[in-house]
Amino acid sequence: MTVREALREAEGRLTRADVPGAALDAALLLEGLLGLPRLGLFARQGEALDAETLSAYRKWVSRRALREPLQYILGEAAFMGRVFVCRPGVLIPRSDSEAMCARAAGVAARGARVLDLCCGTGCLGLGLKLERPDARVTLSDISPAACALARENARRLDAEAEVVQGDFFAPVAGRVFDLILSNPPYIPADALPGLQPEVGFEPPQALDGGADGLSFYRRLAAEAAAFLSPGGVLLAETGDGQAEDAAQLFGSPFSPPAVRPDLSGNPRFLEIRRAD
């Protein structure tokens, strides 16, 4: 079977499974399997695929047809122009979070002590470190699988960072940071089953923000000031329609939160300064 025929077969299969962007995913899976760069198949449409490759490709396409996220099948996701290793058990980095990471790189003072709280793959803290090598970055997550993956990403990307494991601020008790970044779980618990099927493959622990989705925001509002230096900044991602309600939770010693957009223009994160 040629590359062209295999792509057409895969596209048909993914279309029947209602996979959004079926043609693109068919191409991304085959490029990933063959280790080719994006559009690397363009000049190879007429080439034959050997039986082993075709069988491996069909297995990947079957997984995608069951709505497993592309990034788990490929084992990687792009974020801030870098490639992060991805694995089931840890939330996949999303482009929704890139504007916040870019903002962090802009607001961090020289040599800033930075905490990425609920780090998952480490994409926010490591993305920042790669833009701002002077930052001193700590990554923290309750999930041992996330911590292991964050360490692996730090090593592969050659981004120096400390990784600590434990519940929320517990692993950094007694320390202060100049900048805290967080993409905490924020999906309202009863909204989880209604999300696109791909999200069902991700760890609920990374998504479930309690009844109204704001439980981690209440914890941030109560606890974050103790871990911020005076004038320090907290950047925290919010879900659709949540930014204003989340902002209301932050009173003194914080100055009123600013709501900032993601790259699609949707309100996506809060920027909050410890005012004293």
Query: Contact positions toward ligand GLN, by CB under 6 A?
Result: 94, 96, 183-187, 199, 207, 237
CA distances from 164 to 81, 143, 149, 155, 224 (A): 25, 10, 12, 15, 17
Pick between residue 53 and residue 205 the one whose CB is nearest to ligand GLN: 205
Closest approach of ligand GLN to the CB of residue 188, in Å? 10
Closest approach of ligand GLN to the CB of residue 167, in Å? 16
Pick from 199, 165, 206, 162: nearest CA to 182: 206
* Residue 143: HSE in the Cβ half-sphere, 13 Å Cα cutoff: 24
Distance of CA 9 to the CA centre of its chain: 31
Pick between residue 69 and residue 232 the one whose CB is nearest to ligand GLN: 69
Closest approach of ligand GLN to the CB of residue 54, in Å? 33
Pick between residue 25 and residue 237 the one whose CB is nearest to ligand GLN: 237
- Bridge-based pairing of strands 267-273 and 258-261 is antiparallel
CB 169 within 8 A of CB 117: yes
- Pull the structure tokens for residue 255: 């100055």
Pick between residue 64 and residue 113 the one whose CB is nearest to ligand GLN: 64
DSSP 92: P
CB 72 within 8 A of CB 200: no
Assess whether the previous peptide bond of 253 is cis (omega < 30° from 0): yes
Q: For residues 36 and 27, what is the distance between their CA atoms, to the nearest angstrom?
A: 10
Closest approach of ligand GLN to the CB of residue 237, in Å? 6
Closest approach of ligand GLN to the CB of residue 207, in Å? 4
Give residues with Cβ within 8 angstroms of 122, minimum separation 6.
Answer: 84, 116, 139, 149, 150, 151, 153, 154, 161, 163
Closest approach of ligand GLN to the CB of residue 153, in Å? 18
